[in-house]
Structure formats: structure tokens, C-alpha cells
Amino acid sequence: MMTREDKIDFISSKIIDMFEDVQELLPNQIDKVLNSGAIPFDEIVEGKDSTIIGRAILIAILSDTINKYTEMGVSYSTKVKKEAKNISCLL
């Protein structure tokens, strides 16, 4: 039987594994977006717009990742989203 500490360690290692998977994909996703032709480089003003575009790209990538982790079926997806919403209140 797993102790509370064992469960904490197990969950922590799973989260770190998932994060590392996302981190490995991040450079490819950034390149894909930047080379897609959708970013208006000619209209970007250094300093101001580069921060907006950078944040928008990061949000889009994280949103896509969230969708991949919640697209496992209706009941699974509903449970994951509910738990994530509850946990986000702690952050």
C-alpha cells in the first residue's frame, strides 16, 4: 500500500514526465508557428509587439497541449477539467 509520501512522489514524477514531453516539443511548435506565414513580422514594433506575439504563441501552444491532455473521452475530459479548475484555485 502506498503511503501519502509515495503517492506525492508518484504524482510528482508523472507531472514532471508530462512537462518534459511538452518541453521537448516546444521548439518544434515555436518554429512551426514562426514559419507558418501567420505572424506579421513587418508590422511588429520592437519591444511592444514582440512581447504580445511571444505571449500569444506561448498561450496558443499551451492551449493546444491542454486540449491534447483532455481529449480522452467525455467523462474523462469532464473530470480532468473539473479537477484542474479546482486545483487552479490553489495557485
Domain ranges of the chain: 14-88
Residues found in the chain: 91
- The larger pLDDT score, comparing residue 41 to residue 72, is at 41
Question: How confident is the model at residue 4, as a pLDDT?
Answer: 96
Q: How far apart are CA 52 and CA 86, in angstroms?
A: 29
C-alpha cell read off for 33: 508557428
Query: What local confidence, expressed as pLDDT, does residue 49 receive?
Result: 67
Is the C-alpha dihedral spanning 10, 91, 87, 3 positive or negative? positive
Q: Determine what percent of the chain is predicted with pLDDT higher than 70.
A: 97
Distance of CA 91 to the CA centre of its chain: 16
